[in-house]
Amino acid sequence: MRVLNVTGGISSNAGEQTAHRLKHYFPNCDITCGIFESSNPSFEKFAAERDIDTVFFGPSITDRFEKISLLPGIGYPRAAGHALMDLGEYDLIHVYGGPLFHGPVGAMYAATSRCSMITRFNGYVPLPDTQPKRSIVKTVVRWMLTSDGIVFNSNAQKQDIIDTYDVCDASNMRVIPPGVNQTKFGPVGDTTKLSNKVNVDDSTTVIGSVITPRPVKRLDRAFDIIGTLSESYDVTYVILGGSSHLREYRQLAAEKGVDKHIYWGGYIEQDELATWYSLFDMTILTSEWESFGMSLTESYLCETPCVAFDVGGMSDQIVNGETGYLVEPYDTNSFVTALERLVTDPEQRAEFGIRGREYVQKRFTLERVSSQYSDLISSVTSDNR
């Protein structure tokens, strides 16, 4: 089977995971990844190692989209040209996230190849404030919801789309979490080198977040939480991940007076993450919305418990009071209380971590996800024969 995976730009934090995941979604298939960015040498390398071809279309939208309009970028005409050159080339189109911007391109390929299309909603599609933009977004998303197969990361994300877009027939919808590569994550016993690097000892509570820092992650709330917690405990907050927003968040941390409690680790290679998760006493996520938090799944495989605001797919990943804590959005005081329970009870931390690892192994492995995708592909392709 020949599969075209249409996606937006792939961050440096997610390149290897994305390539590895696609290979599990479509084993024994010839995969081409059509990407809406100008280039991505890192992802291209990881893809080539897994025999995945890459085509770079260019940007899908203008850089100032959120400020001015829905003006398309150069990627659209290039994608159209590619579709016309490869007329009938593919057996299945897979839109991987960004259905608003990349879904119509996937639909164009599905039409020219006369094949089935699966649209995966990797994140939420927030409705704009202005009515013209809102109408456009609703029209495009409703169009994408007519795909042969729709995949959501979590049950909460699926229900949100059903409610927002008044979906009457959800028979083409499935919840299939992203899946995590278990070979990359597990408890690491000796974290001495990292402890020295971060300058922490056994008396320090290390709280971590592995994210791409950007507004939706709401680091401002994380800073407030760490600020309050540090009044009573020796706390170091480790932030791993890179983005163009780092400078402004460093400045905000200084303004809130918590910069002395923060260690900025930047981008970390996936092979090194298990040691970091093992260094953390707990992992936190303070996002405004989140369809699925990969850092929580990875953290649990390293037996590190998690605390997050109860938004989106967090309730699929954290069993409140058994593997970690879900906190009412956006109650920072209750978040601090949840962390204090774990800070003061190392036995509970250990129990939550072990239960979390067992929970992930039953639900979120790539092998389980691959089986779910196989069933979906068989269903949509047989329906269109």
- Which domains are delineated in the chain? 2-179+365-383 (3.40.50.2000), 182-363 (3.40.50.2000)
Tokens representing 65?
A: 């989209």
Contact 363, 177 (CB under 8 A): yes
Instruction: Out of 50-64, 287-301, 358-372, pick the least confident.
Output: 50-64
**Is the link from the previous residue into 249 a cis peptide, with omega within 30 of 0?**
no
For the segment 11-29, the average pLDDT, to the nearest whole number, is: 88
Tokens representing 8?
A: 């937006």
- Where is mean pLDDT largest: 71-75, 109-113, 177-181, 313-317? 313-317
Residue 66 has pLDDT above 70, yes or no: no
Tokens representing 265?
A: 């680790």
For the segment 275-283, the average pLDDT, to the nearest whole number, is: 98
Task: Work out the pLDDT band at 279, boundaries 50, 70, 90.
Answer: very high
What are 263's strand-pairing partners? Answer: 238
228-261 tens-digit pLDDT: 999 999 999 999 998 889 999 999 999 999 999 9
- Identify the pLDDT of residue 124: 79
Contact 4, 55 (CB under 8 A): no
Task: Work out the pLDDT band at 317, boundaries 50, 70, 90.
Answer: very high
Q: How far apart are CA 59 and CA 112, in angstroms?
A: 22
Tokens representing 363?
A: 């639900």
Task: Work out the pLDDT band at 383, boundaries 50, 70, 90.
Answer: low
For the segment 297-316, the average pLDDT, to the nearest whole number, is: 96
67-94 tens-digit pLDDT: 445 556 778 888 888 777 777 789 999 9
Q: How far apart are CA 73 and CA 77, in angstroms?
A: 8
- Identify the pLDDT of residue 295: 95
For residue 258, what are the CA distances in angstroms to 215, 252, 271, 327, 329?
A: 18, 9, 29, 22, 22
Phi, psi at 124, each rounded to 5°: -80, 160
Alpha carbons within 13 A on the beta-carbon side of 104: 14
